[in-house]
Amino acid sequence: MPDSYTMLWTNDLCAYLKKEGYEGERLVILFGGPFQSMPSFLRAGVKEGDHIYPVRAFRKRLWALGRMEVGRILPYDTVGELTTDEDYARVLRWRALKAGGGVSEVLLGPPGSPLRFDRAVPPDLLASLTYRSRRGERRIKHVEDGELKRSHSVQGIYRLAPESAAAMAALVAG
């Protein structure tokens, strides 16, 4: 059974993507790397078939931006050699996701959900959203009265517990 993960996008990246007309385009590519600002999917345990949910922390809310299924994970420095012309064109189109550089991984997938910036995670889901690791499960910290007071506990790439993954899938599909 595939796993599901969230990854936090910065507000600057979201503002740029919205301004440049990416809203409504289907997610087909994501980039990862060795830095906190561009975390590694491989280090997080992501594999082919898994789902990635980019999220944004903005105005005390968590926003579900979309979902992408991982079809392939490639080293960034070989992407030109190992992709079709169509996939390479996607790399070029979505290069804004490489904001800040430090890219070492490229995730390619079939067209995912459309990118949206208007889908807030409801307060009850935010309060119950649970991540799973080898050490056990944890909820998002700094959630008070249905608001996200700080985004520290969602910065990075984190595996969702099965119930939370199902809830995120329903939210993004709706």
The string of pLDDT tens digits covering residues 47-90 is 999 999 999 999 999 999 999 999 999 999 888 887 888 888 88
What pTM was computed for the model? 0.94
In this prediction, residue 104 has a pLDDT band, given cuts at 50, 70 and 90, of very high
Tell me how far apart the terminal alpha carbons of the chain are, to the nearest angstrom. Answer: 22
- Phi (first) and psi of residue 117, to 5 degrees: -115, 10
> What contacts 147, CB < 8 A, 6 or more positions away?
60, 61, 123
The string of pLDDT tens digits covering residues 21-57 is 999 999 999 999 988 778 999 999 999 999 999 999 9
